[in-house]
Amino acid sequence: MERFFKRKSSSGLGSSNNVDSSNTVGSSTTPNSRQSQSDGVLGNLQADPGLRNRMIDYDANMRDEVRRSYLQKGPCQPRGHNFPITNMSGINRRFIPQWFDEFDWLEYSISKDAAFCLYCYLFKTNFEQVGSEPFTGDGFKNWKKGRDRFKMHVGPVGSVHNKAREAATNLMNQATHIKTAVSKHSDQARKAYRTCLIASIKCTKFLLRQGLAFRGHDESATSCNRGNYFELLQFLADNDDKVKEVVMENAPGNLKLLAPCIQKEIVNSCALETLDAIMDGLKDRFFSILVDEARDVSVKEQMAMVLRYVDDSGHVIERFVGIQHVTDTTSSSLKDAIDTFFSHNGLSISKLRGQGYDGASNMRGELNGLKTKILREQPCAYYVHCFAHQLQLALVSVAKKNIDIASFFATSNSVVNHVGASCKRRDLLKG
C-alpha cells in the first residue's frame, strides 16, 4: 500500500487540514515562506486520485509545479492490486488491469474503486468541463463496456480530454516554453523587435484615429502607392534612424510585421485594449444600451452598440463599444448578439437600466421585439425611443404637411437625379 499512498504528516502543508482562509492549498503570505510551502506541498501530493485535492484549490502560482510533479510520476496504476468484484445487474464485474496498457492516461483509485483521468484532473479547469466530470469528480465506476466508455471519454480531436493532453505535453516540453523561446534571443534583438513593434503600433493608432484604410491595391516593394500603413511606416523610418534600422527592408526576414494578418492582429489588440479601458471606466455601475443595425458596404448586417452611464462626477458618458455582424435583424438574433457581448466583457444584465432603439417592429415590438425580450429578463431596463430618430420622424412629418417645403424637396430630388445622370449636365449647372 505504501507504493500508492504517501503518509500525511500532522503538520503537512499539503494536507486538507492546512488550507488557509481562502481555501487555497499552498498559498503563501510572505515571499520568504513561499519556497518552504512549495516544497511541503510537492512532498505531500496524494498518489491515489480519489484522495487528491482539486487542482483549483492549489495556489495559482504553484499549479504548474504540482502538475509537472504528477506528470513526472505518471498515472496511478496499481497493476498488482486485487480489484474488487461488484455485482451489476446480476453480473459480477470489476476493473480490468489490461486497460492500463491501452489507455496511458487511465488511473485507478483503490480508496474509491473508481477510474480517473490524469490529464483531465490536471488541466480540465483550463477548458470546458463537458463530458470530463465522471473521470475527475467521483470517478468512473461502471465497468460494463468500460473500454467503450474510455474511448468515448477521449472523444474527437478537439475534445476536452485531448486539449488537456496537449496542455500536458506543452507543459513538459520546456524547450517550447515562451520564456525559453524569448531567452534564446539577445538583448539587442529583443530591443530591435520592440522598436519595430512600437513603430507598427504607432502607425496603427494613427490610422484608426483618422479612420483611414490600411491596405493598398499594390503593396509590392516597387509600387509607388503601397497603402497608408506602408507609407506611414516608411515616413517614420525616414525621420527616425533607430526605426529605420529595424523596419521594412532592414528588418529580419521573419520580423517585418508587414503581413496583412499581422496588421489585423495589431488592430484587434488595440480594439481589445480600448474596450478593456471602457469596461474599467464602467466598473460595476448601472448602464443603458443604445443599439441600431444597418447594412454596410460589404452587404452585411451589422449591429452597432453604445454604452451609456453616469460617472462619479455626475457626467453622462457614452462609449461606442463596437460593431458586431449578425446573420439577420430579427429580435432573437440581436438579443443573442447582445448576450454574447455581455458574456465576453463581464457585463451583467442585472445592471441594465435602459435601452434605446429606433421605432422598427423588430426593435420595439410589444410581443417579440428586442425591447420586450430584454424586459422579460430585466424589468428595470426601461425602453426610450431614440430621440434622434424621433426628431427625424417629426421633421419628415412636418415637411410633408407643408406644401411649399414638400414641393421644394420633391423638385430638389428631381434636379439631383436628372443632373447626376450626366457629366455634361453637371458642367452646365456649374457654368
Partner residues linked to 319 by β-bridges: 307
Q: Indicate the SS3 state at residue 107.
A: strand
What's the rounded Cα separation, in Å, for the pair 56 and 63?
A: 8
- ∠ Cα 398 400 402 (to 5°): 70
Domain positions in the chain: 16-175, 186-268, 283-385, 390-430
Cell triple for residue 118? 490524469
What's the rounded Cα separation, in Å, for the pair 93 and 404?
A: 94
Question: Which are the contacts of 185, defined by CB distance < 8 A and separation ≥ 6?
Answer: 193
Q: Phi/psi of residue 300, each to 5°?
A: -125, 140
What's the rounded Cα separation, in Å, for the pair 105 and 120?
A: 9
Q: Indicate the SS3 state at residue 281.
A: helix
Question: Which are the contacts of 395, defined by CB distance < 8 A and separation ≥ 6?
Answer: none
* pLDDT at site 17: 41
Q: Give the pLDDT confidence of 263-305 residue by residue, as tens digits.
A: 888 888 888 888 888 888 888 889 998 888 777 777 778 888 8
Rg of the chain on CA atoms, in Å: 32
Partner residues linked to 107 by β-bridges: 116
Q: Give the pLDDT confidence of 175-191 residue by residue, as tens digits.
A: 655 555 555 667 777 78
Maximum distance among all Cα pairs of the chain, rounded to whole angstroms: 104
* pLDDT at site 32: 53
CB count in 10 Å sphere of residue 414: 10
HSE, side-chain direction, 13 A CA sphere, residue 248: 20
CB 356 within 8 A of CB 290: yes
Stated pTM of the model: 0.48
Assigned CATH class of 283-385: alpha beta
The residue that leads in pLDDT, 9 or 159, is 159
What's the rounded Cα separation, in Å, for the pair 256 and 352?
A: 45
* pLDDT at site 3: 47
Instruction: Using the structure block, give the residue that is written with the C-alpha cell 425591447.
Output: 371
Q: Which amino acid is at 87?
A: N
* pLDDT at site 12: 39
Q: Give the pLDDT confidence of 312-360 residue by residue, as tens digits.
A: 888 998 898 888 787 777 888 888 888 888 888 888 888 888 888 776 7
- Following CA atoms 232, 238, 243, 245 in sequence, which dihedral angle do they give, to the nearest 10 degrees? 130
Which of the given ranges, 1-5, 103-107, 134-138, has the highest pLDDT on average?
Answer: 103-107
**Average pLDDT over all residues of the chain:** 79
pLDDT at 170 over 50: yes
**pLDDT tier at 60, thresholds 50, 70, 90:** confident
